Amino acid sequence: MFRRVATNAVQRRAFAAVASVSFTSAMSCRTMSVGGAPPSMGGGRPADIRRPEEAVGGEPDAEESMTPPEPAKKPENPPKFFTYEVDEQGFCTISLSRKPVNSFSLEFFEEFNEWMSWMGDNDEMKAVILTSSIPGVFSAGLDINELHNPKEDRFGFFWSSFQHFFVILNAFPKPLICAINGNSPAGGCIMAIGCDYRIMVDTDSSAEKRPYRIGLNETKLGIPAPRWVMKRYAEVVGHRNAERMLQLGETPTAVDALKLGLVDEVCSADEIKAKAILAAKKYASIESNARYMTRRIMREECLAIIGDEEGQRYDIEATGSIISHPDVQKSLTTYLERLSKGRSKK
């Protein structure tokens, strides 16, 4: 069993905008009101969780816990795992660039979460577009090395950073457009369904025109997707489709994903940038408070699962128990060996 990790006051700010996700409680929350702007994303990490070396004792008092979060500051160092560009309309395009397949490590989550928190609070940013700079892949999802023979303290922080990533995407105050220009299994799909609008390239550029795929295939590695992800997936594709696809680890092609509602539009690689900008314009043209409140209410059930410390900690402990099971570790070892053999042949 993975032990519970330490808490601190700073981390609570990261979840201030989603700590109470019901509509009624949101109306009285200091960080959000009907007449005001969407709440600050704030800084820090979810579940009041720090790295082990940062842990301190003590709990904040009630007054401190109700203090609205300060707007997130721009990170001091440029990002290592993606690039970003802001056009004259205030549309920010983030291009994932963590080779070889844009997998999500602890360090990626730390960086991405920090930058997205700042972008969410930056008034100059009117919308964010997520895409990839690596040919043929949007994102392969979680870095398997974080799950294979995990160290207890690092895994606890990795998973809490993953929770934070999910909350940032699904509670983001600006329009989020996903330009999926490659395969997008597992965590790549989780990133996509956190966005407001998903556009996907249909095939690669090879002579065979191999179709790109998207979906949650975790069960093929012996791991169930997180409960909060399952809930969001069902919201997107419908409960019956989600149940079947999750159990079988299905990754439909872009064309089939369009039929399921998993993506909203399919296009060629040459068209995706312009279509993403057009979608950003459409969403940004709607009054921001009304649009954000609608988004927030529609996603409150999936956010509520990890909407407080108890839910976040339980999720970390339960997932740690699953990941550390010998059968799961054997499956991950086999998968990594297969990847290693495949790369050596190249």
Catalytic (active-site) positions: 142, 187, 217-218
What would the two tokens of residue 332 be?
């991950």
Domain 75-345: CATH superfamily is 2-enoyl-CoA Hydratase; Chain A, domain 1 (3.90.226.10)
Largest CA distance in the chain: 63
Beta bridge partners of 82: 96
Question: Contact, 44 vs 90, CB < 8 A?
Answer: no
Residue pLDDT tens, the chain, 346 long? 444 343 333 334 444 444 433 323 332 332 333 333 455 665 544 444 344 444 444 454 555 555 667 888 999 999 999 999 999 999 999 999 999 999 999 999 999 999 999 999 999 999 999 999 999 999 999 999 999 999 878 999 999 999 999 999 999 999 999 999 999 999 999 999 999 999 999 999 888 899 999 999 999 999 999 999 999 999 999 999 999 999 999 999 999 999 999 999 999 999 999 999 999 999 999 999 999 999 999 999 999 999 999 999 999 999 999 999 999 999 999 989 888 776 666 5
Task: Give the start-to-end residue ranges of the domains of the chain.
Answer: 75-345
Inter-axis angle of helices 227-237 and 152-170, nearest 10: 30
Among 29, 25, 54, CA closest to 39: 29
